[in-house]
Amino acid sequence: MEDKPSHPWRFDTNERYREVVRLIISLSTASLLLPIFLAREFLSLPEATALKDVFTCAVYWSWGLLAASILLGIIFHYLSAKWSRLAWGKPARVLGCDVSEKKVEAMLDATFWGCVVGFICGVGAIMIFLRNYVPNS
């Protein structure tokens, strides 16, 4: 007799969440370069101007939030694999500790929303930098 998961629809749902997280990781990675590109191209900064002299703390916050979004997305994928093991009725361990399906689902929710919020806030911080930029004349 072949093993079958008790709730096969969960795998389809999990894959949809994974697609969203993959997209957010890609967008967060691309957004890490946004301040540099926007500063040079749209703010018309000369090449001689050091970006560190122009960037405000909003840019550094954006980089931290976008990096956190990427990290949380990677953790989400790791936990998703553990959740799949549990859905097949196999035991799963996270950092050496046995975990239940309920605990993994809670961690998946936290990492998913952390990934989303980190991306939105990171892009928001870039927008704050651009809105508040005042050239040194």
Chain segment 76-135, per-residue pLDDT in tens: 999 998 888 888 888 888 888 888 889 999 999 999 999 999 999 999 999 999 888 767
Contact 79, 108 (CB under 8 A): yes
d(CA 115, CA 34): 18
pLDDT attached to residue 46: 75
In a domain, 4, yes or no: no
Domains in the chain, number: 1
In a domain, 137, yes or no: no
Mean pLDDT of the chain: 88
In a domain, 3, yes or no: no
HSE-up (13 A, CA, CB side) for residue 46: 5
- Identify the domain containing residue 18 by its residue range: 9-44+53-132
Q: Considering the entire predicted model, what is its pTM?
A: 0.86
pLDDT band for 1, please (50, 70, 90 cuts). Answer: very low
Considering only residues 48 and 2, tell me which one the structure prediction assigns the higher pLDDT. Answer: 48
In a domain, 40, yes or no: yes
Looking up tokens 């361990």 gives 93
The dihedrals phi and psi of 93, each to the nearest 5 degrees, come to -130, 140
